[in-house]
Amino acid sequence: MKKETLRVLLFALSALFAIVLLDQLVITNLKNSQVNIINVALIFFFCVSGMYLLLGLGGVLSLCSVTMLGLGAFVCGFLNTKLNVPIPAAMLLGALASGVLALFLGLLLLKLEGPCFVFGTIGVTYIGQSVFQNFAAFTGGPNGTGGIGKLVLFGYTFKTFKDWFPLLAVFVLLLILLLHRIKQTTFGRSLMAVRDDATAAYCMGVNVYRTKVVVFVLAGVLAGFGGSLYAVHNGTISASLFTFNTQLKFVIMLMLGGVMSPIGALFGTVLVNYLPELARFANSYLNLLYGCLIVLLMIFMPMGLAGILKEAVVRYRVQRNKQLPGDGGKGGPSDVVS
Amino acid sequence: MALFFQQTLTGVSVGLVYATVAMGLMLLLRAAGVMNFAQGNLLAMGAYLSFLFMEKLQLSSGLLMVILALAVFVAVGCVFCSVCFLPFKHAKWPQAMMICTIGAGTVIQECCLLFITAETRSVRPILAGSLSVGGFVIPYQYFFIFGAMLFMMTGLFFLFEKMYCGRVMSAAAQNKYAADLLGIPTNLTTMVTFCIVVCMVGFSGWLLAPVYRVSASLSNFQARAFASVVIGGFGSLKGAIIGGILVGLIEAYSTYFTTTYKDVVVFGCLLLVLAFCPQGIIPSGTKKEKA
């Protein structure tokens, strides 16, 4: 077996072990509302990981993932409550609907460059926000959609939030492995080439437009699947979640954890979602604290938590190499995070 | 017919506000390369400041208020620049700067809510009374808004097109490296641009306060400003102004057939413009002025 495969297997096994430990020791002792916050963070990670693919690998800043999340959630809810489609099929169809919307938008918008594309996606988010809030026949309007059925997998019904945690954690683990894998495929490498220099990538034979559209659709499908998970997990969906402010929160989650690292992004997501619970003592000053924190974090660690960690590791290696001059400078400053 | 005039008037006056916010956005994008997501919060800050001075502190002299407000805006501009621009000059990810403006916007909004007022308040208009002509009513405040906005826009044009310091600032915006070589203090010009933008947006918030009341939801104007920048033509100040007025008119006329889907109409137009003429309605001049 190759060393890389072994490492991935080891990572997956230890992560599974960590999930079991977390579930048995931490989650059972938390209040239901706190478990809900963590589960929702894990669901949001689907959306954030799509943005990691777009921004971290592809260098494309898209501000409409929240619309994909919302579409996935509402399609799943609509199919289940109005047309009685069974839950697993409704979830897949929700993800598919988001993918189709993403394909359409990607074909339309990805021809544009820089700020124009960002402005276009902002427009999509505002349209989505308005439609979700007002299109009562589809989304239930201001009341939202309620009474979505429970998920039944292999005869096991997921009833409480605590039942959901292991499932979501395993999903997230699979997602992280998938993201890790994507980075090593031809597609992932061409994506990074597009990020670093689109012209050079084009000259090397990468179809820039198609690569961007594919990654946009992939991010849309992930966000849509996250949305349908959200719908089934909560049982009710309210349109007030899918606003531009939530989208900005997703960007903050990604940047806080580290735009280049899926695991960092996961930590960022959980942290941002759990922060109101942690900083309850600050009550009315909470938002002020939050704003100050964002500013300070961006100034002092623009690559997020993962970036700081990586830098520390590199510095440690450099120091160790200095102490052992015979080591041949392995892991030297050549891969310093810039 | 009266309804049509009324809609046009509201459209244009709201459009002028979008235009100032959009112009601020454009200037910052050119000078600092930052997409400012705190623009709406700065607008709201202007409105809060008007409430603070006029109702809470009961200042009587108009001149004193303007000078105080100017001082506050310049201070905010300097702090904003040194927090959101200077630390990121050599950053690899331009997105970090953008996130920083989101954080700064949250801080500004929370400061207003905590230290000035947490409730939605109304402010008395600067010019009371209204003019009624054949069935439709124009409050005098609207004329004041028109006048002040036109004054601000012409001032800005004069600064950037005719005056030496304005040219220096556009030079620094267009090519930082070359401007540095010519001895232009680029940090200073960027800071001045930030101050001008904060003053402009802040005073528009001040003018809007009597019409829209003072609340944090004033920051929603920002989204329309994004739309105006694109519709008018990306990269030019003229485009931002015309785009702003167009967006205001589209929004006002859309009430003829829908009230709930206003956002869909406005941003649908944005997507249409992006799809069919991505250079915007005024493509000329963008090459010349583009950063």
| Contacts for B58 with CB less than 8 Å, ≥ 6 apart | none
Q: Do the domain assignments include residue B234? A: no
pLDDT > 90: percent of chain A: 7
Q: Kindly determine whether residue B103 and residue A292, on different chains, have CB atoms separated by under 8 Å.
A: yes
Interface of A with B (CB under 8 A): 55, 61, 108-109, 111-112, 115-116, 118-120, 122-124, 126-127, 129-131, 134, 244, 248, 251-252, 255, 259, 284-285, 287-288, 290-295, 298-299, 302-303, 338
Average pLDDT over all residues of chain B: 81
**CA A221 remoteness from chain centre:** 12
**Given this model, what pLDDT does residue A221 score?**
92
> What average pLDDT does range B112-122 have in this prediction?
80
Does the structure show a pLDDT above 50 at A333? no
Read off the pLDDT of residues A167-179 as tens digits, 9 standing for 90 and up: 888 888 888 888 8
Burial environment of residue B284 by CB neighbours within 10 A (0 to 12, 13 to 18, 19 or more): exposed
Q: Do the domain assignments include residue B263? A: no
Option in B29, B87, B102 nearest A252 (CB)? B102
DSSP state of A2: -
Q: Do the domain assignments include residue B225? A: no
Phi-psi label, residue A140: left if phi above 0, alpha if psi -120 to 50, beta otherwise? left
Q: Do the domain assignments include residue B124? A: yes
> What average pLDDT does range B18-41 have in this prediction?
84
Q: Which residue has the higher pLDDT, B64 or A147?
A: B64
Option in A116, A130, A255 nearest B264 (CB)? A130
Does the structure show a pLDDT above 50 at A330? no
Q: Do the domain assignments include residue B289? A: no
Rounded Cα distance between A269 and A255, Å, is 10
Q: How many distinct structural domains can be found in chain B? A: 1
Does the structure show a pLDDT above 60 at A327? no
**Given this model, what pLDDT does residue A332 score?**
42
**Given this model, what pLDDT does residue A217 score?**
92
Torsion of CA A194, A200, A204, A210, to 10 degrees: 30
Average pLDDT over all residues of chain A: 82
Rounded Cα distance between B76 and B85, Å, is 13
**Given this model, what pLDDT does residue A103 score?**
92
Does the structure show a pLDDT above 50 at A112? yes
Q: Do the domain assignments include residue B250? A: no
Rounded Cα distance between B35 and A33, Å, is 36
Q: Do the domain assignments include residue B251? A: no
DSSP state of B259: S
Q: Do the domain assignments include residue B67? A: yes
Read off the pLDDT of residues A180-227 as tens digits, 9 standing for 90 and up: 888 888 888 888 888 888 888 888 888 888 888 999 999 999 999 999
DSSP state of B132: E
Read off the pLDDT of residues A68-87 as tens digits, 9 standing for 90 and up: 999 998 888 888 888 877 88
Domain that holds residue B33: 14-217
Rounded Cα distance between B215 and B45, Å, is 9
> What average pLDDT does range A236-242 have in this prediction?
84
pLDDT > 70: percent of chain B: 94
**Given this model, what pLDDT does residue A326 score?**
53
Neighbours of B23 (CB within 10 A): 30
> What average pLDDT does range B96-101 have in this prediction?
84
Does the structure show a pLDDT above 50 at B14? yes
Read off the pLDDT of residues B142-185 as tens digits, 9 standing for 90 and up: 888 888 888 888 888 888 777 887 788 878 877 778 888 888 88
